[in-house]
Amino acid sequence: MDKRVFTSVQMIPVSFLTAIAAGSILLMLPVSSSDGVWTPFADALFTSATSICVTGLTVLDTGNYFSLFGQFIILLLIQIGGLGIIAVMSLIMIVAQKRFTLGDRIILKDSLNLDTTLGVIRFLIRIIKTTFVIELAGMILYSLEFVPRYGIGRGLWISLFNSVSAFCNAGMDVMGGNSLEAYNDNAFVLGVTMMLIIIGGGGFVVWFDMAEKISTGIKKDFSAKQIISRFSEHTRLVLNLTVFLILAGTVQVFISEYNNPATIGNMSLSRKLLNSLFESVTYRTAGFSTFSQAGLTNVSCVFAYLIMFIGGSPIGTAGGVKTTTFYLAVKNVTSYLHGEDNARVFRKSVSAEQMRKATVIVSVSMVTVITLTLLLMATNPVSIQNGLFEMVSASATVGLTRDITTTLNTAGKLLVTLAMYLGRIAPISMAIFLAGMHHKKKVIKNPEGHFFIG
């Protein structure tokens, strides 16, 4: 295997494992718990993994079980996980004024899932600055609600934690209780949360491209249509898929749960619409909830499997196989059915290699979810519906659960931990690995065989 690709493929998983291990040790310490007791290793490991993988599934109440120190460690892990381990390590090198070698730039490029090393340091710095600005804005907006309710000190801490957690699509909070269920009638809090989730999950490349094209368009007095037409094909595809999935999810939840008293059935019409929209957004790897997922209808559960599996968009803080990856995998199938040699998106051709790569990522991810679900069912008394929901949520780093996470035994917790870890590092690692495999030259060509299919 090419040495450069091997280094990148190995570096990303190892860096996440190291961070998870370090976080586990810190969270086990008595200083990290509010009662000053040692936290069991399995629970500390699970919490560290769910934080660094920005998943949000919890076996311990973050707001009540952990001390301020423990909560700070969790917040730090969420921030590191959202930005990416390699990106944070690179930031430290920048602050320490360390020189970047070509190998460092290649690893950073791969970790950010970029196509080239040109300008990768500038791109990283821009990501860091944008992240902190957005999270600060989110904190200020949240504080308008939380400071009057909880006081200055606790209100600001809750605002900061929620802002980072929402932007990084982690879905964890320190308010105690059941996520945002107490705020299911608060359009302001839910609106801020949805805004942060969508921005974080949309991908930095998309927002940077939009900002540049809009700025240029305003200076040159372009019309809105002219500005939009200048967005890159990737930006337009992400925006179209994001809007479609959010609207489709909102309509599905609203219709399927309209009369369900366990979810939104007893809410007013406006609250039903608000919570349906929020549920659709949080499906996209966020993990916050305004009602118990255990009450979802069967139709909503099946729809949730798909939306969670797809996740957010590339080069952002969301998980899942990613919107564009799933779209290109579907495009690979439809192109074959239509007999097309060259698929097109927005009048731009899509290489066969890109579609094959997307199909492999989706296929491997599906096999992983199914395998882990079967193992979870074999080790814990959970139904296939709840087990699949838990594993799709964990693998796509969503963080929603049908109230079974805290009931899992040690084997179950370890399986979910593994799912969160694989869900966070596998899509990027597979993309890098497949890119390297594409550059390998075949030295032996065997005679073609004849096989019957179908």
DSSP assignment of 57-89: --SS-HHHHB-HHHHHHHHHHHHHHHH-HHHHH
Q: How far apart are CA 60 and CA 152, in angstroms?
A: 26
pTM as predicted = 0.88
Q: Is the pLDDT of residue 263 over 90?
A: yes
Span 164-211, pLDDT tens digits? 999 998 889 998 778 899 999 999 999 999 999 999 888 888 888 899
Distances (CA, A) of 182 to 34, 139, 177, 187, 401: 23, 19, 8, 12, 18
Among 36-50, 68-82, 220-234, 291-305, whose mean pLDDT is lowest? 220-234
Q: How far apart are CA 194 and CA 205, in angstroms?
A: 19
pLDDT band for position 1 (50/70/90)? very low
pLDDT band for position 95 (50/70/90)? low
What the block records as the tokens of 238 is 């992400």
179-182: long-range contacts, CB 8 A cutoff, minimum separation 24: 179/287, 179/288, 179/289, 179/290, 180/288, 180/289, 180/290, 181/289, 181/290, 181/291, 181/292
Among 33-42, 222-231, 422-431, whose mean pLDDT is lowest? 422-431
Residue 168: phi and psi, rounded to 5, are: -85, 5
Span 360-393, pLDDT tens digits? 889 989 999 999 999 999 999 999 999 999 999 9
Tell me the average pLDDT across 281-295: 90
Q: What integer pLDDT is reported at residue 157 of this predicted model?
A: 96
Span 214-240, pLDDT tens digits? 999 998 888 888 988 898 888 999 999
Span 312-350, pLDDT tens digits? 888 777 888 889 999 999 988 888 888 777 778 887 888
Q: What integer pLDDT is reported at residue 339 of this predicted model?
A: 79
Q: How far apart are CA 315 and CA 322, in angstroms?
A: 10
Place of tokens 């423990």: 70
Q: How far apart are CA 341 and CA 263, in angstroms?
A: 47
Residue 266, classed as helix, strand or coil, is coil
pLDDT above 70 covers what percent of the chain?
A: 83
Rg, the chain, Cα only? 22
Residue 349, classed as helix, strand or coil, is strand
Tell me the average pLDDT across 42-65: 92
Tell me the average pLDDT across 33-39: 95
Q: What integer pLDDT is reported at residue 114 of this predicted model?
A: 62
Q: Which residues face 172 on adjacent strands?
A: none
Q: How far apart are CA 382 and CA 213, in angstroms?
A: 50
Q: What integer pLDDT is reported at residue 287 of this predicted model?
A: 84
What the block records as the tokens of 269 is 């019409």
